[in-house]
Structure formats: C-alpha cells, structure tokens
Structure 1
Amino acid sequence: MSRKNRKNSFLHALKRDYLLYGLLLLPIAYLIIFKYAPIYGILMAFQDYNIFQGIGGSEWVGLDVFKFIFHQNSFYRALTNTLVLNLLDLVAGFPAPIILAILLFEIRYVKFKKATQTVLYLPHFLSWIIIGGMVYLIFSSHGMANNLLNALGLGSIEFLSQKTNWLIMYVIVGIWQNAGWGTILYLAAMTGINRELFEASDIDGCSRLRKIWHITLPGIKHTIIILLILQIGRMVSIGFDRPFVMGNSLVSEYSDVISTFVYRVGIGSGDFSQATAVGLFQSVVGLIFLVTANYIAKKVGEQGIW
C-alpha cells in the first residue's frame, strides 16, 4: 500500500471512529505527562542537584553519584532485602492466583462462584495503611491472635518483631491482598479453552485432577509464562507501602528495601541525585532481567512478550 493510500485510509478511519480516537486522548496525555516528561529528570542522577538552581543550573558530576551509592553498605542491604522479598513473593505468591483461579474455575454453582470472587477481590482495594492497621491489631504482641493463644495456654508468638516470623507474615499478607485480584487474567484465559476438550475428557472418564493437569494448565501456559516474565522483570523494584507499613525498627534488617532507601535519602535527606540514581539503577537492572527472562522463554520454545 502506497503512502498516499495509507494516509487516506487513516483519515477515513479517523473520520469514522473519531469518538473512539477521542477516548485515547486522556490515556495518551497521562503517558506523556507522567511517564515520558519525567524522563528529563534522569539528568539529576549525573548532577550534584540543587533544588534552587534546578537541573539546568546544577553542577554536572558524571558517575560520582553512582560511585557514592555503590560504596554504601545500606544500599547493598536494601538491594539484598528487595531481591529476597521479591524472590519469596515469586516462589510463594506467584502460584497462589493460579491455584485459586483453577479452584474457582472448577466451581459449578454460579452464584457461589460470583460471591466467592467478590470476597477474594476485596483486599486488593484496601489501602496498605488499613491492612497494616489490621495486621497490627491482630498479630502484634498484645493483638487478638496472641490474646487467643494466651487464653489457650500456648504462649505468645512474636509475629511482627521476630525476623523469620515477620518474613512469613509479609509473604502471607501479600498473598492475601493480591491473590484474588491476580486470578482475573487466569480466569479469562481459562474461558478461552476449547470446551470440546473437557467434553472429550469426560467421555474418556478423566478425573478432575487429570483435566486440570492435561487441559486447564496447558491452556493457560502462555499467560503464566508472560506474567512470570513480567514478575522477573520487577525483581529489583518493590512497592513502598507494604514494607514501610509492615516494617519496624526490630526487623529493619529485613524490611529496609530500595523503595524505603530512596524515601530516606531522597525525601528525608533531600538528596534527589541519589534517589534518582537508585531509580535509574532499578530501571536498567529490571530491563536486563526482563530481556533475559524473555530470551530464555523463547529459547526453550515458549512464547515471550515480543
């Protein structure tokens, strides 16, 4: 198709579907304002940034900010904790929505299924401040769980102040908050599985477990791989709310992650150059992880992101 024909085709589509194209203006504006425009701020990572002089007037120092960060033990502790917590989420949290989606998919009573899905989705819409308050009220030293244990004569358990227990609680609370919402994509993928496969398996006398293993899981395999690749790409990134709200001074050795490190040096100390440099480091390493995971997936014969 010639350039002129392509132009006429686009103008015709624009005239025909102008309302749909108009709906794109808001998300495009969001991407430009909040995703692309801030890229200019990456320059702060290579400057001795001064808030009064701005990016244009601050002194250029090259890689000195990165060298300073990489010589800090607190940065390596935050990086290690980030990788450990994300790895725990990957091992324990990634399979959770898959298992939950399969269980929901196997429910035949529609009303009960919809009610269950609604209950499972609710934690996703709760703020981490609210969840943190709930966790503290239930699992603190004088919380409901320990009061019950004491009443049963079993003794208290330091759920939030003992390091290993805190890690377990961190993972469990994360699964509770995210697993229900994570089932949406898997359930959507399951609805696309050919129903004739299930009917044929019923004729052959297959059990439910065999149908799950030989039909359901292969049917959502590509979705699982794509989400796994994206999860691996976020191994160096971690949300601020969850570790900040659930952490405390007794477990700071485990709860201090890159996001809280950036908050401490960027907002607390006013060192925006360090905060920007750490953010840039996260993005570059995350991109490397993402490309590597995608490459490995395609090498073993699976479908990658691109």
Structure 2
Amino acid sequence: MAEKPGHSIISIQKNKRSFEYIRKNFILYLFLAPAVMLVFIFNYIPMYGVTIAFKDFSPIKGILNSEWVGFEHFTSFLQSPNFQQIFMNTLKLSTFGLLLGFPVPVILALMLNQVRRAGIKKHIQLIIYAPHFISVVVIVGMLFIFLSPAGPLNNILSVFTDKPISFMSDPNYFRTIFIVSGIWQGAGFASIIYLAALSNTDPQLHDAATLDGASLLQRIWHIDIQVLKPTMTVLFILAVGGIMSVGFEKAYLLQTDMNLPTSEIIDTYVYKRGLQAGDWSFGAAVGLFNSVISLALLVIVNYVVKKLNGETLY
C-alpha cells in the first residue's frame, strides 16, 4: 500500500524537528553518552554469555567452540527431583515477602507524614533508615546470636517453654525469619519515595476536607492514598517483576543443613551447581529460566494493572 503524500510530509517535518532539537541540545546528549556506553558495555554485551545455557560449555574450548546442546539443561532442571521444591520455596518466599512487606513502607510514610515537629521527625527517620545501611552479613550474624538456643529470645521464651527453640535450624521458622528481618531492614528506607510523593500534596485539600468534617483516617484514605496511588502502582509492578529474585546473599547465609527443605531457592541452587560444582551451562540455564519467569510476570502484571486502573509502568 503506497504511503499518502500528506503522511510523508508530516513524517519529514517530524524528523526535521527531531534533528533540530538534537542539534540544539547536543551538549546534553553528550553528557548522556557515558551513561549509555556503560549500560551497553556492562549490561548488553554480557548478554552474549547467556548462550552457554544452550551449550555444553568448556572453559578450554570457549563459548564459540563449545558443543551446542539446545534445551538439554533446561529439561534436566525441570525434570530434576528437587525442581518442584526449589521453585515453590522461591515462589513462596518472594510472594509472602511482597504481600507482607509492600504495605509497610506505605504505612510508615503515612505515619511520618503526620508528624509535624521537624526535630522529632528527623530522629524517627534516622532510626528507621539505619537498618538499611547494615551489611547483610552483620544482619545474619545478629539473627544467629539473638535466635540461638542460648540467645535473648529463648531466654525470654524459657518462662513459657520447657526447652529452647532452634529457630535457625527448624525449617518451619526460616521463611518467617527471612521475611521479617527483610522488612525490618528495608521498610524504613523504602518509605523515602512515598514521603517524597506525599510532599507534593496540596495542603488546601486537607484544609478543605477538615472544614467539611473529614476525620484523619478519611483524609488519609481520600487524599494521601490517592496521591500515592501512581507511585504504589509502579513500585508494585517492579516488585512483581523481581519476585523470583529473592536475594542470594541472605538466603545462603541463613542456610543450615537442617533448614534446607525451605531455604534452598533458585539463587542458592544456581550458585551451588553453577559455581561450586563447576556446571556452568546448567547454572546459566537455571538462571535464565528464573529471568524469563520474572519477565513474564512483569508483562502480565503490567497488563492487568493497566486494564484495572489505567496506571502502567510502560
């Protein structure tokens, strides 16, 4: 089908305007160039290494000369006896962490927004932001100390129980420890973005609602929550997109021989098979499988949210 003359003229005019805009703002694009180059070099070029997931990779032969095996490693992982357990452990840990942890920063931001005295507000923010800057290794060390059979928590519980509870070795407590410690460490710092969004709220809205007799909770629900809604939507979509990326470091450090039935997740499994056992191709295949699942979830949730309320990530 031939292009209409009017459309071609409009297209040429748009191209001229774009070229003119780039020419006038050449210096700004020049400042952007290093960032684009860094992303290209460290994020896009390494994607070539994903091809080892479809090969029987040998460091001696290299990626190009290694034998092509197709989906053999993916099939091996999907048919392995512990696939269902590892996959469900990852899914449960991330899903529960998202459902329980996502509302906490929002609630913290709403509470902090009601503190009117700047001095008190700064001290509270300092206290709740501090855990974010503690190393994961230190956090895990603290957990082992506080939750050990001779630790402070068991000393308190000894009033009600006859024997100490082995929190760190009992599989039933692993998810609770992982999720609660993660919320404690990250919720305060995550509330910053919500506080920034709330700072743009027009004070006249609250004044008008107060004059109309609206209570504090009503003003929070009908004004503050509505202001936070676009930010919450975008962050929720991003959180769902990373739902399969639980976090290798803390999960691996919290693992013991006794809690493996619930603590073995995809990230730790990839580390053990891919790096410790030297099965590079199998580890890459499992990691790629994890990434594909995350991408699919991101696209699906973004589509569903867009249909429900019009807010979208892209």
TM-score interval (norm. to shorter): over 0.9
Paired residue for 1:203, among 183, 206, 211?
211
Where do residues 133-212 of structure 1 align in structure 2 (5 Å cutoff)? 133-150=141-158, 152=159, 154-155=161-162, 156-212=164-220
Higher-Rg structure is 2
Instruction: Tell me which residue corresponds to 2:26.
Output: 14
Instruction: Tell me which residue corresponds to 1:54.
Output: 62
SS in 2 for 1:228: helix
TM-score scaled by structure 1? 0.93
8 Å Cα contact 1:198/1:215 also seen in 2: yes
TM-score scaled by structure 2? 0.91
In 2 relative to 1, CA 176–44 (structure 1 residues): closer, same or farther, beyond 3 Å?
A: same
Q: Deviation per CA, 1:65-115, whole angstroms, max 9, x where unpaired? A: 111111112233211100000011011111111111111111111111112
Offset at 1:35?
A: 1.0
* 1:123 matched to 2:131: yes
Paired residue for 2:105, among 72, 78, 97?
97
8 Å Cα contact 1:240/1:259 also seen in 2: yes
Offset at 1:159?
A: 2.2
The one-letter code sitting in structure 1 at the alignment partner of 2:257 is: S
Paired residue for 1:304, among 303, 309, 312?
312
Offset at 1:4?
A: 4.4
Looking at structure 2, the residues matched to 89 and 207 of structure 1 have their Cα atoms a distance apart, in angstroms, of: 32
The one-letter code sitting in structure 1 at the alignment partner of 2:251 is: P
CA RMSD of aligned residues (A): 1.7
8 Å Cα contact 1:159/1:165 also seen in 2: yes
Instruction: Tell me which residue corresponds to 1:244.
Output: 252
Q: Deviation per CA, 1:18-49, whole angstroms, max 9, x where unpaired? A: 7xx43x34432331222111110111011000
The one-letter code sitting in structure 2 at the alignment partner of 1:238 is: V
Looking at structure 2, the residues matched to 75 and 274 of structure 1 have their Cα atoms a distance apart, in angstroms, of: 13
Q: Deviation per CA, 1:239-294, whole angstroms, max 9, x where unpaired? A: 10121112211111110001000000111111111111112111211111111101
In 2 relative to 1, CA 203–2 (structure 1 residues): closer, same or farther, beyond 3 Å?
A: closer
Looking at structure 2, the residues matched to 32 and 76 of structure 1 have their Cα atoms a distance apart, in angstroms, of: 36
SS in 1 for 2:190: helix
The percent of aligned pairs where both chains have the same amino acid is 36
Offset at 1:12?
A: 2.1
8 Å Cα contact 1:75/1:258 also seen in 2: no
* 1:39 matched to 2:24: no
Offset at 1:230?
A: 1.3
Looking at structure 2, the residues matched to 240 and 167 of structure 1 have their Cα atoms a distance apart, in angstroms, of: 14
8 Å Cα contact 1:79/1:236 also seen in 2: no
Looking at structure 1, the residues matched to 109 and 14 of structure 2 have their Cα atoms a distance apart, in angstroms, of: 48
Q: Deviation per CA, 1:112-131, whole angstroms, max 9, x where unpaired? A: 11121122111112111010
Higher mean alpha-carbon deviation, 176-185 vs 139-148, is at: 139-148
Unmatched tracts of structure 1, length 5 or more: none
SS in 2 for 1:248: coil
In 2 relative to 1, CA 25–116 (structure 1 residues): closer, same or farther, beyond 3 Å?
A: farther
Paired residue for 1:255, among 235, 250, 263?
263
In 2 relative to 1, CA 25–130 (structure 1 residues): closer, same or farther, beyond 3 Å?
A: farther
The one-letter code sitting in structure 1 at the alignment partner of 2:296 is: I
Looking at structure 2, the residues matched to 41 and 304 of structure 1 have their Cα atoms a distance apart, in angstroms, of: 32
Paired residue for 1:83, among 82, 88, 91?
91
Where do residues 259-274 of structure 1 align in structure 2 (5 Å cutoff)? 259-274=267-282
Paired residue for 1:74, among 77, 82, 101?
82
Unmatched tracts of structure 2, length 5 or more: 1-12
